[in-house]
Amino acid sequence: MTKAEIQQVKQRFGIIGNTEALSRAIDVAIQVAPTDLSVLITGESGVGKESFPQIIHQYSRRKHGQYIAVNCGAIPEGTIDSELFGHEKGAFTGAIGERKGYFGEADGGTIFLDEVGELPLPTQARLLRVLESGEFIKVGSSKVQKTDVRIVAATNVNLTQAIAEGRFREDLYYRLNTVPIQIPPLRERGDDVWLLFRKFAADFAEKYRMPAIQLTEDAKKELVAYPWPGNVRQLKNITEQISIIETNREITAAILRTYLPVQNTQRLPALFGTREGKGFESEREILYSVLFDMRQEVAELKKMVHNMMAERAGQVGQMGQVVATPVVTTTHQPSVPAIIHAVQPSVCPKEDDDDIQDTEEYVEETLSLDEVEKEMIRKALERHHGKRKSAAKDLNISERTLYRKIKEYELD
């Protein structure tokens, strides 16, 4: 496609930016649209992946059919098969009527499966059958049904790693990934950041009936230099905050910096090294590893203190002995050393030595890993005023996982 044609597509679908990687992604989407090939759209959370399935649908022969977008990560695991493929009356408790399901509704059209990496393995097997033969079976039924659906999927999960960890089917990956489209993160889009900010500022000025905010030159440089971990979604959110709160409509770099979160200050140390696409269970494994390291460091610190006291005992002419506090390790769930009080240890005296007193004391109060996890989720919900979608994003887990954990820890 020519640059002019790509620009028309951007205007039609509200896509802002001139980055070559973004234009290339749009070009691929339009070229593949007339076919029925499956498309897998990848990119970080918040980059705007949801626009590309709409482009593919509107430029396809299916544009007059149904277009259904499904957030796979927001549907509870127990009901996702019913949502996608439908169910018969009485198939399970609460199934008071028959349900058609999204694949039945989208027959002849396009279905967009967002966060496809969050699908449970049994549902992945059902989806694979649809891709291979166009067939599916409703929950509680034995009758095979046919559907003619174009599938476009999107994920911010590293599916190659998910396959290695046994969380995603390799055969399904190759079926979905017939045509890959990679959406670049905002930090790699240069001056597009400024163009997006200006558009959002104008939109919020119109929405709230106030003058649009303007950035000084130093603020523009600050805006472009910031890494934007939340991508376009984060930029839009911060633009709205500034538009509402600041009375001075000219924003300097100093003012802008007060709205830009310092990187990695809101997360637990266990999450610092997580790779893109890590599931919640993997994060727990990393947390376990960190906790074990902490216990080892505490044990080494105690050993060092005891050695120092032993040396001191020798220097005072073997006048006392060091009483060691044993360190107990377990092979099951570790505990987090939350508080360690250490009163200055000293050498235990002989009976005729009144100048040296035995005051060694260690007190450890511990929290179980489940309690740490519960507290982390509770604080995330408080930070976001109970908004579970925002809390799940903050915790780097899916909404479905968060709902399950809320129920498990009785945080409703």
Length of the chain: 412
- Residue 223's pLDDT band, with cuts at 50, 70 and 90, is very high
Query: What is the per-residue pLDDT for 164?
Result: 96
Domain boundaries, the chain: 3-91+98-184, 187-259, 369-409
Q: Where is pLDDT greater, at 318 or 220?
A: 220
Angstrom CA distances, 155 to 152, 167, 243, 284, 359, stand at: 11, 14, 31, 21, 58
Question: HSE-up of 398 (CA within 13 Å, CB side)?
Answer: 25
pLDDT tens digits, residue range 19-52? 999 999 999 999 999 999 999 999 999 999 999 9
Tokens found for residue 242: 């500034």
pLDDT tens digits, residue range 46-84? 999 999 999 999 999 999 999 999 999 999 988 999 999
d(CA 250, CA 391): 32
Lowest-pLDDT choice from 65-79, 152-166, 238-252, 397-411: 397-411
pLDDT tens digits, residue range 336-350? 444 334 444 444 444
Burial class (CB in 10 A: 0-12, 13-18, 19+), 251: buried
For residue 263, pLDDT beyond 50? yes
Domain 369-409 has CATH 1.10.10: yes
Nearest partner of 67 among 23, 18, 108, judged by Cα: 108
Query: What is the per-residue pLDDT for 405?
Result: 85
Contact of 208 with 162, CB cutoff 8 Å: no
pLDDT tens digits, residue range 101-131? 999 999 999 999 999 999 999 999 999 999 9
For residue 100, pLDDT beyond 50? yes
Query: What is the per-residue pLDDT for 361?
Result: 42
Domain 3-91+98-184 has CATH 3.40.50.300: yes
d(CA 122, CA 116): 13
Average pLDDT over residues 283-311: 64
Q: State which CATH number among 3.30.230.10, 1.10.287.130, 1.10.510.10, 1.10.8.60 fits the domain covering 187-259.
A: 1.10.8.60
Query: What is the per-residue pLDDT for 81?
Result: 94
pLDDT tens digits, residue range 361-404? 433 444 566 777 888 888 888 888 888 888 888 887 888 888 88
| Domains 3-91+98-184 and 187-259 fall in the same CATH topology | no
Angstrom CA distances, 81 to 112, 127, 261, 398, stand at: 16, 10, 39, 17
What amino acid occupies position 289?
Answer: S
pTM tops 0.85, yes or no: no
pLDDT tens digits, residue range 187-207? 999 999 999 999 999 999 999
For residue 171, pLDDT beyond 80? yes
Tokens found for residue 76: 């509870």
